[in-house]
Amino acid sequence: MKPIIAPSLLASDFSRLEHEVKMINESQADWIHIDIMDGVFVPNLSMGLPVVEAIQRHAKKTMDVHLMIVRPERYIEAFRKAGSDIISVHIEACPNLSRVLQQIKKLGAKAGIAVNPYTPVSSLEHSIAEADLVNIMSVNPGFGGQKLIESTFDKIRETKQLISDTKSKALIEIDGGVNLDNAKTLLDAGADVLVAGNFVFSATDPTEVIKKLKAL
């Protein structure tokens, strides 16, 4: 099966956002990855609801929204209304994770669990069966352009085993530091979805980079 490629708009040129979304639409990418940061859960601020609504007006691909925020349950409905097809929340930000996953699914979106680099896979044991997606953060969340943490490969294999053991249907998404040097190894370890930000948007020809990732 070909990998799912999800360019991350966090690395795009926000002054040309419509152009960047149209580039993704016309490329071989499958999803549009959108990072939401509140400056509390992570030490950075990024786009909010009005920008997601603006993206939705032009997007022709699945909108994969990653909420790096505290108390995400307060905003799930609003992000769904803004056009989110997949909504991922952080296990570290959700004391009642099962309830939040159910909330997302009731609204008709796919539910994802995001996991910080040093949160153990074992923390997913009681919730992974309810998830459609596990977003393994392969860098410390908050900023783009970081190098992939080497322990990510083992973490993917552990997550794949947990998915098998629990009969979960969750896809494994890798978010951070993805490039052509490590993408094949990530896929061989068990990843299904590759989020690529700087590697795509800093390229002279982003559509060609997406094509190469998709061909792996």
Helices (H), ranges, 2-68: 17-26, 49-58
Helices (H), ranges, 41-95: 49-58, 76-81
Token pair 């947990």 is found at 162
Residue positions annotated with a catalytic role: 35, 175
Which amino acid is present at 30?
D
Which amino acid is present at 141?
P
Query: What's the CA gap between 44 and 28, in Å, rounded?
Result: 30
Q: What is the DSSP letter of 120?
A: -
Q: Confirm if 12 and 201 have CB atoms less than 8 A apart.
A: yes
Query: What's the CA gap between 139 and 144, in Å, rounded?
Result: 9
Beta bridge partners of 89: 67, 113
Query: What's the CA gap between 65 and 84, in Å, rounded?
Result: 6
Query: What's the CA gap between 117 and 184, in Å, rounded?
Result: 20
